[in-house]
Amino acid sequence: MSKCKQYDVSLIKIGKLDEELHFGVFGRYWLQSRDNVLYLIRLGMKTLNNTHFIITVVKGTSVAAFQPGYICEANGVISSVYDTPSGAINFLYHTLFSSKTRFSGPLICGFNNEEINKQLLDDVPFQPFTLTVNNLQMFIGMIGVSDQESFGYAGPGYLSSFIYRISVEKIKTLFVQQIHQRHCLIVLYQDEQIKFKFSEKNPNKVWKEVWEKIEFTPANTPWYEFLLNWKEHNCNIIKLYSALKNIYPEEYQFKKRELRAWKALLHSIGCTNITPFEKDKSEKEFWTKTENPADNKHIFLYLYENNFLDISLPDDHSNPIVNKFWSCFNESLKANKKGSDGKRRILSIIANDFSYEEIKSNLLLEGNRYQYREDMGGLCATCNTYGYEVFGCLKNLIQKEINSIEIQNNFIQCAENLQRFLKRSYEQKFIISENGTTKHNPCINHCLLYAFRTCDKLHTQIRPLNVMIGTLS
């Protein structure tokens, strides 16, 4: 049984429904919640309670023209318009009796009375409702229906809204989303005035325009800096916690709620979590901003399942030399086209940005024997050496383009044989001297000096790939 004081309330006038107020842009303000059900506050409704106070609902207050206002009257005295029923009745009671007794406005209005609430729902063509999405309370004022999957099958007439604070002043803003016959519309209201309006062919496009043009937070706040850094980054994929640590003070401890907010933000702007393992395996998370994340997700899953993805190292060990190397590497790939032999000449270009000692310590084991070190930025050394990301793409391509399962399996087997050969046997074919330097090999396939364009000797042998591997058919 409720512990709240009970009042004997009568509905002396039910009032009316106004389509613009109750199902339109500001409809979220004309609702009263009780037992997880929303009841419409009708315009002009009037209630009388056993304390002989009459509460009347009107449109607008001194600060909000489209929100409900409340007037209280008793003993021939009428209050001003208040934005809550509690304000109206408490003011009038204090005026009449010089008492500081306070009343609950919703109870005085009868919003806890089941019979009154049933009457308020009479003749309602659509009962608005709310739902919570990532801590945003979404108001659904109307629902249309269509066959458009990109619209979530909503159609003309759909209207929803939520409240969020934007800009450096954190201005309270009402976001209203509508679907019309040929376009989707998002309108931003501040103090009931239109501040921004966006229109596009579908919801994804219109929200992309909103995110590009609206200053949700000032430029010096963390998430603005985070998104700006990622936008300027050459790679679509990030390790979430590593990226976040770059914009927070050292030793900063993230709260779970804060991390959830970050992930909700990333989801809302179209980013995808492509982490291929559960949290009990590692706290690391990988996210992509590409419009087609399926390929990235497949590759990361393949790397993880084959133990090529390093998830053990902490996220906060960033090596500036490593970052510099990979940045140069990426820029060199972009800037240099393949030569007549199908190879890009990037090593000399990378060397322009590195001293000899930096290259030797980060790229060479000793002498002229080239190999990647184990500490290359937390990446799997085997992966870097043999490019296993390519094999994931190759397997995906085979499955996508070849319909025959038998032929699929044959090609995949060939790719896996090649992968094993590169890992286990290929380096054994190199000729390395006792001091660790590479030597000329008459077989062109196994001559590292030729690969780096420093060999001027004759190569008398060349072995097809299937002969070297011995298992390809």
DSSP letter at 385 equals H
First to last CA, the chain: 80
What value does the mean pLDDT take over residues 286-312? 81
CA distances from 419 to 422, 424, 456, 468 (A): 5, 9, 30, 13
Under the banding of pLDDT at 50, 70 and 90, the label for residue 311 is low
In the predicted structure, residue 463 carries a pLDDT above the cut 70: no
Identify whether residues 365 and 236 lie together within a single domain: yes
* CB-count exposure of residue 237 (10 Å: 0-12, 13-18, 19+): middle
Under the banding of pLDDT at 50, 70 and 90, the label for residue 104 is confident
Token pair belonging to 250: 């050292």
Residue 134 falls inside a structural domain: yes
| C-alpha dihedral sign at 207, 212, 218, 224 | positive
Instruction: Convert the pLDDT of each residue in 252-293 to its tens digit.
Output: 777 787 788 888 888 878 889 999 888 888 888 999 988 888
Q: At 31, phi and psi to the nearest 5? A: -125, 145
Under the banding of pLDDT at 50, 70 and 90, the label for residue 349 is low
In the predicted structure, residue 325 carries a pLDDT above the cut 70: no
Q: Please state, in angstroms and rounded to a whole number, the distance separating the CA atoms of residues 174 and 156.
A: 21
Under DSSP, is residue 251 helix (H, G, I), strand (E, B) or coil? coil
Domain boundary among 154, 189, 213: 213
The answer to whether the beta carbons of residues 76 and 57 sit under 8 Å apart is: no
In the predicted structure, residue 353 carries a pLDDT above the cut 90: no
Token pair belonging to 267: 């989801």
pLDDT of residue 404: 80
Residue 4 falls inside a structural domain: no
Q: Please state, in angstroms and rounded to a whole number, the distance separating the CA atoms of residues 287 and 289.
A: 7
Domain boundary among 213, 231, 255: 213
pLDDT of residue 365: 40
Under the banding of pLDDT at 50, 70 and 90, the label for residue 332 is low
Residue 291 falls inside a structural domain: yes
pTM: 0.48
What value does the mean pLDDT take over residues 172-181? 93
Q: Please state, in angstroms and rounded to a whole number, the distance separating the CA atoms of residues 47 and 106.
A: 11
User: What b/e sequence results for 252-285 when a residue is b if at least 16 CB atoms lie within 10 Å of its CB, and e otherwise?
Assistant: eeeeeeeeeebeebbeeeebbebbbbeeeebebb
Among the listed residues 203, 178, 202, the one whose alpha carbon sits nearest the alpha carbon of residue 188: 178
Under the banding of pLDDT at 50, 70 and 90, the label for residue 336 is low
Q: Please state, in angstroms and rounded to a whole number, the distance separating the CA atoms of residues 68 and 60.
A: 5
CA distances from 341 to 78, 337, 387, 426, 458 (A): 92, 11, 19, 21, 17
In the predicted structure, residue 68 carries a pLDDT above the cut 50: yes
In the predicted structure, residue 367 carries a pLDDT above the cut 50: no
Token pair belonging to 407: 């032929």
In the predicted structure, residue 444 carries a pLDDT above the cut 70: yes
Identify whether residues 311 and 419 lie together within a single domain: no
Q: At 111, phi and psi to the nearest 5? A: -70, -10
Q: Please state, in angstroms and rounded to a whole number, the distance separating the CA atoms of residues 317 and 242.
A: 9
User: What b/e sequence results for 429-439 when a residue is b if at least 16 CB atoms lie within 10 Å of its CB, and e otherwise?
Assistant: eeeeeeeeebe
Q: Where are the alpha helices (DSSP H) in 251-354?
A: 256-268, 294-305, 320-335, 347-351
pLDDT of residue 234: 74
Among the listed residues 436, 255, 331, the one whose alpha carbon sits nearest the alpha carbon of residue 244: 255
Token pair belonging to 114: 């089941």
Identify whether residues 258 and 178 lie together within a single domain: no
Q: Say which residues have a Cβ less than 8 Å from residue 398's Cβ, sequence separation at least 6.
A: 408, 411, 412, 415
Residue 138 falls inside a structural domain: yes
Identify whether residues 196 and 331 lie together within a single domain: no
Q: Please state, in angstroms and rounded to a whole number, the distance separating the CA atoms of residues 6 and 274.
A: 55
Identify whether residues 226 and 328 lie together within a single domain: yes
Residue 376 falls inside a structural domain: no
Nearest 5°: the CA angle 423, 437, 345 is: 70
Task: For the chain, state the CA radius of gyration.
Answer: 34
Residue 366 falls inside a structural domain: yes
Our count of domains for the chain comes to 4
Identify whether residues 361 and 243 lie together within a single domain: yes
Instruction: Convert the pLDDT of each residue in 214-251 to its tens digit.
Output: 765 444 456 767 777 787 777 888 888 888 888 777 77
Instruction: Convert the pLDDT of each residue in 112-131 to its tens digit.
Output: 888 888 898 888 888 888 88
Q: State the virtual CA torsion across 460, 466, 471, 473 in degrees, nearest 10.
A: -150
Identify whether residues 234 and 355 lie together within a single domain: yes
Identify whether residues 243 and 360 lie together within a single domain: yes
Q: Please state, in angstroms and rounded to a whole number, the distance separating the CA atoms of residues 29 and 20.
A: 12
pLDDT of residue 372: 37
Domain boundary among 314, 345, 370: 370
Q: Say which residues have a Cβ less than 8 Å from residue 149's Cβ, sequence separation at least 6.
A: none
Identify whether residues 157 and 248 lie together within a single domain: no
Identify whether residues 434 and 414 lie together within a single domain: yes
The answer to whether the beta carbons of residues 470 and 426 sit under 8 Å apart is: no
Identify whether residues 107 and 49 lie together within a single domain: yes
Residue 3 falls inside a structural domain: no
Among the listed residues 325, 404, 322, 300, the one whose alpha carbon sits nearest the alpha carbon of residue 412: 404
Strands (E), 3-151: 9-13, 31-34, 37-40, 46-49, 54-59, 68-74, 77-78, 129-133, 136-142
Identify whether residues 161 and 294 lie together within a single domain: no
Q: What percent of the chain has pLDDT over 90?
A: 19
Q: State the virtual CA torsion across 181, 187, 193, 196 in degrees, nearest 10.
A: -120
Residue 145 falls inside a structural domain: yes
Q: Which domain holds residue 343?
A: 222-370
Helix, strand, coil abundance in the chain, percent, nearest 5: 35, 20, 40
pLDDT of residue 337: 53
